[in-house]
Amino acid sequence: MQQQKVVIIGGGFAGIRTALDLVKTGTCEVVLISQNPNFEYYPGLHKMIGIHDSVVVQVPLATIFEGKSISLVYEKVIGVDIHTKTVTTEHAPYQADYVILAMGSQTEYFGIAGLPEMAFGFKSVAEARKLRNHIEDMFAKHVKTDKAESVVGLHMVIVGAGPNGVDLAGEIAALNKSLAKKYGVIESLITVDLIEAASRVLAMLPEPVSHRVEKRLRDLGVTVLCNRDLKRQESWTVELADMTMGAKTVVWTAGIITNELVKKIEGLTLMKKNRVAVDEFLQVKGAQNIFCVGDVADTPYAGLAQTALYDGEYVASVIMNKISGQKFHAYTPKPNAFNIGVGPMWSVMQVGSFVSYGFFPYVFRSLIDIKFFLSILPVKQVWKLFFKKAS
């Protein structure tokens, strides 16, 4: 059987899952194009901020695909022709039989003045590292400053009380206590605010869960302010609808939008958050053999790692069945379970109607992390990542 060429744009959850599944058959020539030579494990970014001993947040794509017949191209894609199935990077065009759009998402600032320039993002390893260094720098700088300046310098504002914001707020609160001891800073000078436009934190979960998580945040020392919209950010100043406050650290987790590349591709129908309209097989509507997976596809549960992995597995099966001439079933959206950290060694987990809080969900979350890496790496590699450094 003649090999079919598949070009995958994006080295995130969906991209690597699709590539690994496709290469198993030997019927595809797979090219994966990514600007980032590393796969970044976004669910682990919060650990870079906190006080954890072992942190696994990125793995080189070359390590994941070592020994596999996958061509890696580390370049920026500047265009895609969905009719000729041509993917163009800054240096070369790539013709394919199948194209998979798996570019993921990026931060959306909703046109709020000052936000892109002044706020910290939290969607990459580089951004997490920058934020962690900044927070420690604030403690180092404000050990001996006067009270008024210290209150502003040690005021941290997280905007957005979804899973990322809640997770981050809990980790920052714990980190602050550790840094206060390290630098001899009075804890009463430190403030952590979590700002949310909706009426409660984790609005996608049942109300009792939100209330329990909010209590946990307050116990950690986080001030939760719901029903607040950020209007503007200026240097050292955050303006909400009903108040203005001084803060040298503002982290924006309240908005994501599909990677900007989709706006440059002619023939796509863009829906909410610039997600691409797809048919019942995750193909671009009106195009054959151009697929969207993960955050790019306009599906009910897009935006989470679980969905991206599920989409990648599904599209790989569709392509393999197409190549072999077999039938394939329509895409069925799969509801997600949630396991969201709220400070060290504490999580909330919801699977269907089952909800659990505390240490057990935290342990289970760690096992989920390990299970994922076992699905993309040899056992020996996973052992080195998670246990060798900690021992």
Q: List the chain pLDDT tens, one digit each, 391 residues.
A: 568 999 999 999 999 999 999 999 888 999 999 999 999 999 999 989 987 766 789 999 999 999 999 999 999 999 999 999 999 999 999 999 999 999 999 999 988 888 888 899 999 999 999 999 999 999 999 998 999 999 999 999 999 999 999 999 999 999 999 999 999 999 999 999 999 999 999 999 999 999 999 999 999 999 999 998 888 777 667 777 777 888 899 999 998 999 999 999 999 999 999 999 999 999 999 999 999 999 999 999 999 999 999 999 999 999 999 999 999 999 999 999 999 999 999 999 999 999 999 999 999 999 999 999 999 999 999 988 887 654 4
Find out whether 391 and 53 touch, Cβ atoms under 8 Å: no
- Minimal CA–CA distance to 73: which of 56, 52, 94, 58? 94
Q: By CB neighbour count within 10 A (0-12 exposed, 13-18 middle, 19+ buried), where does 347 fall? A: buried
Q: 64, 70, 50, 77: which is closest to 12 by C-alpha?
A: 64
CA distance 203 to 310: 24
Nearest Cα residue to 245 out of 153, 111, 146, 114: 153
In DSSP terms, which residues pair with 194 in a beta bridge? 158, 224
Sheet holding 244-246: strands in order across? 230-234, 237-240, 244-246
Distance (Å, rounded) from C-alpha 103 to C-alpha 15? 8
User: ∠ CA 66-70-71 to the nearest 5 degrees?
Assistant: 105
- Residue labelled with tokens 């957005």: 160
Q: If you count them, how many residues does the chain have?
A: 391
What's the pTM?
A: 0.92
**H or E segment to which residue 107 belongs:** strand 105-107
Give me the helix-helix angle, 163-183 and 207-219, nearest 10°: 10
Return the closest-CA partner of residue 191 out of 178, 203, 176, 202.
176
Q: Is 179 helix (H, G, I), strand (E, B) or coil?
A: helix
Question: Can you give the pLDDT at residue 391?
Answer: 44
Q: What SS3 state is found at 90?
A: coil
- Give me 323's structure tokens: 């190549």
